[in-house]
Amino acid sequence: MELPEFELVQPQSLQDACAILGKHKGKAIPLAGGTALMVALRYRLRKPAVVVGLKGLAALDYISGNGSGGLVIGSMVTLETLQKSPSVLNGYAPLAQALQHVATQSVRNKATIGGNLCLDNRCMYYNQSEFWRSGQKTCFKLGGTVCHAVGKGRRCQAVYQGDLAPVLIAMGAEVKIVSARSERTIPLAKFFTGKGEKSNVLKPNELLVEIRIPGLAEGTACAYEKLRVREGMDFPMAGAAVMVKRNRSGIIEKAKIVLGAVGPSPKEVEKAEELLEGNKPTDNLLQRVSREAMDGATPVGNLAMNAGYRKKMVGVLVKRALSRALGM
């Protein structure tokens, strides 16, 4: 499938990139690594007049400390660079492990952390060629009035399938967003809309430029587990990221459990977290937490794996991740 016609613009500064996006008012889209966008263009899921190439923006390609034990990552850092960074390997090993789960090495060589967080929501009825979709009624995600995944559904159920967002949310990450005239920093958890039609809060004239991860306190451990069709390369069919902080007595003081690929946004399971907090971990406790996490997952039949199986596997993934983080 050939690419559609568009104008490629390669700005030399972040200010220029934001100005171009603002000038074209929703008809321009940014290009980072291109591993997802090129497919979307070929499938005619995106039909921009202008593509704004960010490859030349060295100002967005950096990994540094934040002065208080945390990590600051520019949005154009590739996943392969991030995975091999001493700062990540030494201080955020669970993130390095999660990065190994993303696609293949050839993809990680090109894909960026900013692009990964900005992945469009996916659905087996949406991520098809224009010819295939022409035989179906237009779905909510493309401006229509039906959901092919849920009969009589009243909203888009497309799934956010990024691997890194659940891990970074569990770690308490924030993101910096800029336009030509303003900037804002928000928790990564609030970056996602919870709507299938549009995965994140970015406005047409805005770019995600930086990810900020706080330092992990003493006694903190994290882990990520993923279910996929092919072990070597696929998007997650379900994912679970956990963070637990224990005191010197072994009691869990704080817990985060974030599910991926079971809804339009990464989902924190607060009831499952509450079961952990204030208790010492036991196999029985982890089993209860597993069931609570499974009950909190609401996948639908819009991916290449049975929704009921994906729901059951959420509990398995959460228990595996907790067992690994807690050394059980």
DSSP for 88-115 reads HHHH-HHHHHHHHTSS-HHHHTT-BHHH
pTM of this structure: 0.97
Q: Is 214 in contact with 172 (CB distance < 8 Å)?
A: yes
Place of tokens 């996490």: 293
SS3 76: coil
Q: Could you tell me whether strands 7-9 and 50-53 are parallel, antiparallel, or unpaired per DSSP bridges?
A: parallel
- Of 253, 235, 272, 223, residue with least CA distance to 120: 235
SS3 184: strand
Domains defined for the chain, CATH in brackets: 58-118+159-213 (3.30.465.10), 220-326 (3.30.390.50)
Q: Is 22 in contact with 204 (CB distance < 8 Å)?
A: yes
Phi-psi region of 66 (alpha: psi -120 to 50; beta: other; left: phi over 0): alpha
Partner residues linked to 210 by β-bridges: 74, 176
297-307: b (≥16 Cβ within 10 Å) or e: bebbbbbebeb
- Each residue's pLDDT expressed in tens, for the chain with a length of 328 residues: 799 999 999 999 999 999 999 999 899 999 999 999 999 999 999 999 999 999 999 999 999 998 888 999 999 999 999 999 999 999 999 999 999 989 999 999 999 999 999 999 999 999 999 999 999 999 999 999 999 999 889 999 999 999 999 999 999 999 999 999 999 999 999 999 999 999 999 999 999 999 999 999 999 999 999 999 987 779 999 999 999 999 999 999 999 999 999 999 999 999 999 999 999 999 999 999 999 999 999 999 999 999 999 999 999 999 999 999 999 9
CA 10 to chain centre: 26
